[in-house]
Structure 1
Amino acid sequence: MDEKEILKFCIERGLLIEPDVLSLFNEIVDDTESVKLIIEKIKSHTQKRIITRSLFEQNKEQVTEFFLTLPKENQKSLEKLKIKLGLQIEISRLSQVQSEIPSISQAKEDRQYSEEQLDETQSDDSLEQDEDSSVKVLLKPISTKKKIEVDDFVKNLRNRFAEMKNILQEHSELENLVSINKLSGGKKFSIIGMVFEKRVTKNRNIIFSVEDSTGRTKVLINQNKPELYKKAEEVALDSIIGFSGNGDREILFASNIVFPGAVNPERKKAPAEEYALFIGDIHYGSNVFMEENFLRFINYVNGKVPNSKEADKIKYIFIVGDLVSGVGVYPSQKKDLKIDDLEEQFRGFAELIGRIKKDIKIIISPGNHDGVRLLEPQPALDEKYSWPLYNLKNVILTGNPSYVNIASGKDFSGFDVLTYHGFSYPYYANVVPSLVSEGLNSPEKVMSYLLKNRHLAPTYSSVQAFPSEKDELVIKKVPDIFVSGHTHKCAVSYYNNVLVISVSGWEEETEYQKRKGNTPDFCKVPMVNLKTGAIKILDFE
Structure 2
Amino acid sequence: MINKEILSFCLKKGILLDKEVLELFSNYPDLESAKFFIEKIKEVSSVNVLTKHTFIENITHFNKAVEFLPEERKKKLEKLKINLGLSIEIIKEISEPNIQESKIIEEKNDSVRVISNYLSPSKKLTVSDFVTHFRNRFNSLKNILQENSSLTNLTSISKISPERKVFSLIGLISSKKVSKNKNLLLEIEDLTGKITVLINKDKKDLFSLAEDLPLDSVIGFKGTISKGTSNKNIFFVNEIILPESSLSLRKKSPIEEFALFIGDIHIGSKLFLEKNFLKFIDYLNGKVPNTPEVSKIKYLFIVGDLIAGVANYPGQEKELSLSDLESHFQKAAELLSKIRSDIKIIISTGNHDGVRIMEPQPLINEKYAWPLYNLKNISFVTNPSLINFGFSNSFSGFNILLYHGFSFFYYADNIPSLIKQKSAHRPELIMDYLLKYRHLAPTHSSTQYYPSEKDSLLIQEVPDIFISGHTHKSGVMYHNNILIISVSSWESMTGYQEKRGAEPDFCKVPIFNLKTGSIKILDFEQ
Aligned twin of 2:160: 183
CA contact 1:491–1:503 (8 Å) conserved in 2: yes
CA contact 1:179–1:214 (8 Å) conserved in 2: yes
CA contact 1:152–1:467 (8 Å) conserved in 2: yes
Partner of 1:352: helix, strand, or coil?
Answer: helix
CA contact 2:423–2:429 (8 Å) conserved in 1: no
The answer for unaligned runs of 5 or more in structure 2 is 1-86, 92-109, 227-231
Aligned twin of 2:200: 222
Aligned twin of 1:211: 189
CA distance in 2, matches of 1:175, 1:373: 44
CA contact 2:89–2:111 (8 Å) conserved in 1: no
Aligned twin of 1:171: 148
CA distance in 2, matches of 1:414, 1:485: 23
Aligned twin of 2:429: 445
1:255 aligns with 2:238: yes
Choose 476-485 or 302-311, whichever is displaced more.
302-311
Aligned twin of 1:130: 89
1:428 aligns with 2:411: yes
CA drift at 1:131: 4.8
- Give the counterpart letter for 1:528 in structure 2: F
CA RMSD of aligned residues (A): 1.2
Aligned twin of 1:342: 325
CA contact 2:120–2:360 (8 Å) conserved in 1: no
Partner of 1:310: helix, strand, or coil?
Answer: helix
Aligned twin of 1:362: 345
Partner of 1:173: helix, strand, or coil?
Answer: coil
CA drift at 1:515: 2.3
CA contact 1:129–1:393 (8 Å) conserved in 2: no
1:349-393 CA-to-partner distances (Å, cap 9, x unmatched) read 111111111111111100011111111111111111111111111
* 1:462 equivalent among 421, 446, 454: 446
1:399 aligns with 2:382: yes
State the TM-score, normalized to the length of structure 1: 0.75
The answer for unaligned runs of 5 or more in structure 1 is 1-127
Pairs within 5 Å for 1:378-527: 378-437=361-420, 438-527=422-511
- Give the counterpart letter for 1:436 in structure 2: I
Aligned twin of 1:148: 125
Aligned twin of 2:282: 299
1:324 aligns with 2:307: yes
CA drift at 1:184: 1.3
1:122-143 CA-to-partner distances (Å, cap 9, x unmatched) read xxxxxx9535442101111125
User: How many residue pairs end up in the alignment?
Assistant: 414
CA distance in 2, matches of 1:471, 1:446: 20
Aligned twin of 1:161: 138
CA distance in 2, matches of 1:523, 1:307: 20
CA contact 2:136–2:453 (8 Å) conserved in 1: yes
- Give the counterpart letter for 1:285 in structure 2: G
- Give the counterpart letter for 2:113 in structure 1: K
Choose 177-186 or 476-485, whichever is displaced more.
177-186
Residues 357 and 131 of structure 1, relative CA distance in 2, 3 Å threshold = closer
Partner of 2:418: helix, strand, or coil?
Answer: helix
CA contact 2:271–2:492 (8 Å) conserved in 1: yes
CA distance in 2, matches of 1:350, 1:199: 51
1:99-137 CA-to-partner distances (Å, cap 9, x unmatched) read xxxxxxxxxxxxxxxxxxxxxxxxxxxxx9535442101
CA contact 1:284–1:325 (8 Å) conserved in 2: yes
Aligned twin of 1:114: none
CA contact 1:129–1:395 (8 Å) conserved in 2: no
CA drift at 1:251: 1.3
CA distance in 1, matches of 2:132, 2:199: 31
1:144-191 CA-to-partner distances (Å, cap 9, x unmatched) read 322222222222111111111111111111111111111111311111
1:52-103 CA-to-partner distances (Å, cap 9, x unmatched) read xxxxxxxxxxxxxxxxxxxxxxxxxxxxxxxxxxxxxxxxxxxxxxxxxxxx
- Percent identical pairs in the alignment equals 57
CA contact 1:197–1:210 (8 Å) conserved in 2: yes
Pairs within 5 Å for 1:32-111: none
CA contact 1:208–1:220 (8 Å) conserved in 2: yes
CA distance in 2, matches of 1:510, 1:151: 41
Partner of 2:351: helix, strand, or coil?
Answer: coil
CA drift at 1:203: 1.2
CA distance in 1, matches of 2:501, 2:190: 39
1:193 aligns with 2:171: yes
CA distance in 1, matches of 2:366, 2:187: 45
1:275-305 CA-to-partner distances (Å, cap 9, x unmatched) read 0000000000111000000000001011111
CA contact 2:346–2:380 (8 Å) conserved in 1: yes
- Consecutive aligned runs of 4 or more in structure 1 exceeding 6 Å deviation: none
1:240 aligns with 2:199: no
CA contact 1:129–1:394 (8 Å) conserved in 2: no
1:235-290 CA-to-partner distances (Å, cap 9, x unmatched) read 01111111110005721000011111111000000000000000000000111000
Aligned twin of 2:13: none
CA contact 2:88–2:113 (8 Å) conserved in 1: no
CA distance in 2, matches of 1:201, 1:510: 43
State the TM-score, normalized to the length of structure 2: 0.77
CA contact 1:130–1:396 (8 Å) conserved in 2: no
Aligned twin of 1:110: none
CA drift at 1:464: 0.5
CA distance in 1, matches of 2:120, 2:311: 21
